[in-house]
Structure 1
């Protein structure tokens, strides 16, 4: 991977001045000049800003922080003091990956006699109008792109141009408590951006970028900010949350890591993602779940009978649509927070449902929101001392949900944390649910007056999640939702990575669209699909990505929008849950779901991830019995039809290669000549063109797509050619009907499906199509020409 990096980083450390610098030696050029730390804190009733100087070098530490990454080594360990408060800072500078990565870590120690309240630990603050402290990346900051990662699952994530303005919600206290980290600023000016946990800066002009981020959020929520005016300005800090550091106690940041890179493919982010996974010892992943969820058809108007009816339909469809999970979503409990009392529509609770689902050979799943509390719940009335409160004494605002302003548990109250753990233990070990969707997890990390003020918000949430995982047991599948990303690493099996899908393309509320159009975090297909793409690289590096549900039945989504949603979910490789009333699902929509099973599970290269706010170009390389081929996708984000044009260069294909192409949703074929563009018919608004491109190698028979499976090739299990005879085995492990297409050098004179003669039709010169009906055990197709 050395070709990814512009060169090894050179360090320059000036302990007396409190500075260190980093740079690459050769063009393209990257430099951090005179990095200096800043600690914002309160002590003795006053606010202080300390920029440590007069560091002294120490050879070793008694308890050094664990070094992450490969080939890691400490460059320098430096100690400085602020004598009036007795505050000591220990800075550890390190490098990894043969010197291509830089890392640093800061710990604070209260050696005084009075508590110190830590507000912010600034680890990097360069540029703007200080010529001595510069941030240089490429030749022109105006050309930079900024990848903005949102705080939690539903938070807006995308790449923006340097002259753009950050998308902001107009809903203020209704929305922001849910999706915005209070320690990360929201900028109104163009050219000013912020990100949570990590970011990417990239200059397409110079083919040069920078990945910067924290390796975890076990200790603090880390924030990053960048602006281009008046000079490039990069800031990185750990949110101290006004946490109390008592005499004799210590506080440490998470490791911060950065590296410059020199390529514009998905690869630049991969080393960082893999370093984070290694730090959290994330190594293995289960299969992506496939199943049914009650939410988007029934919402909270749910009954046990609804679950039974859909369960029976799933059983009846096992040979056609083999789902394995039945997830009961919100609507069974009397009130959010009162998890052990049930609505009249669930007269026996949910345990009998779990047993019924398990008896059907399926996996029961349950939705819970263990940290958020409805203000009208019995929990809120009976245990007001468990609630997280503001300095005024009023319960915190956890956002507007269930048509009210919700509040949250204070997990530093031992009884509150015990209650949340008890609910998880009950759901898994007494009710019998081995799959839990844990929602609204951010609620445990809201700003407030915690019973224990010595823990940061990140520590409170992390410890809460560790407690829930222990209560659930290692064998339970946990899906995190509404989750700050760094807080659930290594503790959940899957994580939602975008907003709720909803039944409309743009956000709306109670049927009203105009005011809510463009809301960046609200439930809507446009927001869910965007984040599924912009966070695609996280899949099977940090967890299984959950792109939210597929809605097939009648909604405000057009057929083209449903096809886009289905394609993006399939290509994401993540969870696949249908959320319709299956008993009324039209057959033509059922066929869309059938084409997505079995799941591909691999994730695509989002080609324009760092170029466009709404990525439009995807490539997924597949390999099977047929050899190798490519799935190529183009999404029309416009509100008007457009004419898609595919080029070899745009999709990083060999310009000298000719491809035989099948358009999956339109069932059309094309021959894509070497280094020419491929123009398709008009694509509807919000539609997708999904192509399978097969390299044309010789005048030999070749598979050129099908309508049986969205991969358009993984359904072929064997492929054997002997002179003028072909045998192939087709199997997707469930019943299906569709067309299979072949390139044949001569017209076939005999075609059989198992032992039954089969009639086909000529589509294009040498392209023939045959109707195929699959059983659960597949079929063998033979042909002679």
Structure 2
């Protein structure tokens, strides 16, 4: 990409980003004058911002053009919610990548003006976070625009709904953090690339390089068993021990790495009461953790550290430990269950824990320290978005003057301090603020038991493809558990096989929830073959175009240089690639003769 000072616009790969305006609190402030040079656009502001100066700095960097937005000369008494720039004229875009900020809010390509698929504003094509890839109408490759620092503030993108006049806002959420008259948005990177996923991978590398904490890159992929997608919350000690025996027998019989045994949600009575245990576990959790370790597994436990149920003992005894609504002062209910469905707890409402309260912080430290002392070596922290969802316009925390990400990082950093080098999977978690803290990251919603719907296989395919670029660079991606059992789901044989291959060849976390002594022989061999695969380097060379016919091309390379290609027809009608015909939902592995996966072909 190049900056044309005469037109005050960026050009490259058939795209133009022009009509550049300053942006404060989501709107363009009045401008008294503008000056453009090769390395900067400067605006002298007017009106309520009179006397302030806003600049967009433009400089060549190692990965592309480095853009810096600063605001100077503002009264320290003037609070700021956000600052950035608006590109009023974005020309030549066929599709763009809309990425959410946490595990579950989705990542997908949309066309300018494309309507939303549902009513959930968090998944709207108008709203994105951290970065985007702009695909040109004419030509190949992409233009990538993304923020490279994520440990202080959240950064947001807004895409216009008018396809005839496509515009883009990029802004850092300052969250009214006190300032001394000078503010700076998080740094931006702008560059073109011949390959869409290659460009996104370069952005991930830039984020890794800019992070104050080096990403935690595991030597091998995480594998294991998780209780959730088979037992859900209906767990007790006998059922856990039964599945433990089955998992150990499967591991030993097939001689495969199956490292983690995770007890997911269901052993605590209410969210927030993390040191209390349901009567279904009469010995408590410490002896069960020891049993898991003695069976040769890394013991894992599930926790949602930011969640507090209204019927929890924690809330009853410490109502001042939860975040409050700025309007009215009531506890801020992020989730509500007022009807027949009550999840598997008694609580009707769930509030964020106020980690800025010293006593709340001390409590949650004690929880993680205690679990670690039991021997827990794998922590799945869920619903982590509770701590990063709200700014000061909505929420009141005990300690004011912090950004939502600074608050979130306070929790995340103390978790890593308390668990030491234990393994940590973030779920429902901010994707980029967690770099250097978590080992693995859920990259989509719960996989569910059907092909379509809110919790479905279809959403996994979309999110894994578009977030794969960060796996192995920022953290290890978790596509969620593979499902191989014969019953209690709505998937066909082809769908089960294809989903397992897709998740297994992604090269990141590979876990299942099935009772492993009940799998039919071909499914057991499929799982065993995938577990034997090392940490793979996976790529999706057609990620920008597979929406046309639904065929996903997945290439996975091993450390020894060998590779396998998976052709996956993700739709309910026949398709193909070259000479390869694919039935609905079918996968075809292309591997060299003698490849260990070649025998999986029917």
Partner of 1:606: 540
C-alpha distance in structure 2 between counterparts of 1:356 and 1:399, whole Å: 35
Partner of 2:10: 23
In the alignment, which of 446, 465, 468 is matched to residue 412 of structure 2? Answer: 465
In the alignment, which of 343, 348, 355 is matched to residue 411 of structure 1? Answer: 355
C-alpha displacement of 1:629: 5.0
Structure 1 residues 628 and 348: CA distance shift in structure 2, 3 A: closer
Equivalent position SS for 2:568: strand
C-alpha distance in structure 1 between counterparts of 2:167 and 2:523, whole Å: 50
Equivalent position SS for 1:235: strand
Structure 1 residues 28 and 440: CA distance shift in structure 2, 3 A: closer
After the TM superposition, which residues 258-269 of structure 1 pair with which residues of structure 2 at under 5 Å, given as runs? Answer: 258-261=190-193, 263-269=194-200
Correspondence 1:300 to 2:262: no
- Indicate the RMSD between aligned Cα atoms, in angstroms: 3.2
Partner of 1:446: 389
C-alpha distance in structure 2 between counterparts of 1:425 and 1:79, whole Å: 51
After the TM superposition, which residues 112-511 of structure 1 pair with which residues of structure 2 at under 5 Å, given as runs? Answer: 112=76, 115-121=77-83, 123-127=84-88, 134-136=89-91, 138=92, 141=93, 144-169=94-119, 186=124, 193-207=126-140, 209-227=142-160, 228-241=162-175, 243-245=176-178, 248=180, 251-261=183-193, 263-280=194-211, 281-282=214-215, 284-317=217-250, 318-320=252-254, 322=256, 323-390=258-325, 391-400=327-336, 402-403=342-343, 404-428=348-372, 430-447=373-390, 448-473=395-420, 475-507=421-453
Partner of 1:39: 24
C-alpha distance in structure 2 between counterparts of 1:152 and 1:468, whole Å: 18
Checking the alignment, whether the CA contact within 8 Å between 1:374 and 1:380 is kept in structure 2 is yes
C-alpha displacement of 1:739: 8.2
C-alpha displacement of 1:336: 1.2
C-alpha distance in structure 2 between counterparts of 1:251 and 1:529, whole Å: 39
C-alpha displacement of 1:201: 1.0
Equivalent position SS for 1:315: helix
C-alpha distance in structure 1 between counterparts of 2:220 and 2:63, whole Å: 36
Partner of 1:692: 590
Checking the alignment, whether the CA contact within 8 Å between 1:38 and 1:50 is kept in structure 2 is no
Checking the alignment, whether the CA contact within 8 Å between 2:54 and 2:71 is kept in structure 1 is yes
C-alpha distance in structure 2 between counterparts of 1:506 and 1:249, whole Å: 50
Structure 1 residues 636 and 50: CA distance shift in structure 2, 3 A: same
Checking the alignment, whether the CA contact within 8 Å between 1:158 and 1:613 is kept in structure 2 is no
Structure 1 residues 610 and 388: CA distance shift in structure 2, 3 A: same
C-alpha displacement of 1:326: 0.5
Partner of 1:683: 583
Partner of 1:547: 479
Checking the alignment, whether the CA contact within 8 Å between 1:286 and 1:493 is kept in structure 2 is no
C-alpha distance in structure 1 between counterparts of 2:9 and 2:406, whole Å: 31
Partner of 1:513: none
Checking the alignment, whether the CA contact within 8 Å between 2:263 and 2:302 is kept in structure 1 is yes
After the TM superposition, which residues 635-650 of structure 1 pair with which residues of structure 2 at under 5 Å, given as runs? Answer: 635-638=569-572, 641-642=573-574, 644-647=575-578
> How many residue pairs get matched?
581
Give the number of the structure with larger relative contact order, counting CA–CA contacts within 8 Å between residues 6 or more apart: 2
Structure 1 residues 524 and 624: CA distance shift in structure 2, 3 A: closer
Partner of 1:722: none
Question: When the two structures are superposed, what TM-score results if normalisation uses the length of structure 1?
Answer: 0.68
C-alpha distance in structure 1 between counterparts of 2:53 and 2:85, whole Å: 15
Partner of 1:131: none
* Deviation readout 1:203-222 (Å, 9 max, x if unpaired): 25332532111113223221
Q: Which stretch shows the higher mean deviation, 489-498 or 398-407?
A: 398-407
C-alpha distance in structure 2 between counterparts of 1:288 and 1:623, whole Å: 12
C-alpha distance in structure 1 between counterparts of 2:334 and 2:51, whole Å: 34
C-alpha distance in structure 1 between counterparts of 2:499 and 2:52, whole Å: 53
Checking the alignment, whether the CA contact within 8 Å between 2:32 and 2:43 is kept in structure 1 is no
C-alpha displacement of 1:486: 2.0
Checking the alignment, whether the CA contact within 8 Å between 1:149 and 1:198 is kept in structure 2 is yes
* Deviation readout 1:109-137 (Å, 9 max, x if unpaired): 7654xx3321221x22122xxxxxx433x
C-alpha displacement of 1:145: 0.7
C-alpha displacement of 1:153: 0.3
Stretches of structure 2 lacking an aligned partner (at least 5 in a row): none
C-alpha displacement of 1:545: 0.2
* Deviation readout 1:644-664 (Å, 9 max, x if unpaired): 3222xxxxxxxxxxxxxxxxx
Equivalent position SS for 1:570: helix
Equivalent position SS for 2:189: strand
Checking the alignment, whether the CA contact within 8 Å between 1:294 and 1:579 is kept in structure 2 is yes
C-alpha distance in structure 1 between counterparts of 2:28 and 2:494, whole Å: 57
Structure with greater Cα Rg = 1
Structure 1 residues 584 and 691: CA distance shift in structure 2, 3 A: closer
Partner of 2:526: 592
Equivalent position SS for 1:690: strand
C-alpha distance in structure 1 between counterparts of 2:318 and 2:181, whole Å: 31
Equivalent position SS for 2:5: strand
Q: Which stretch shows the higher mean deviation, 281-290 or 561-570?
A: 281-290
Checking the alignment, whether the CA contact within 8 Å between 1:532 and 1:568 is kept in structure 2 is no
C-alpha distance in structure 2 between counterparts of 1:613 and 1:564, whole Å: 17
Structure 1 residues 372 and 252: CA distance shift in structure 2, 3 A: farther
Equivalent position SS for 1:407: strand
Equivalent position SS for 2:186: coil
C-alpha displacement of 1:232: 2.5
C-alpha displacement of 1:235: 1.4
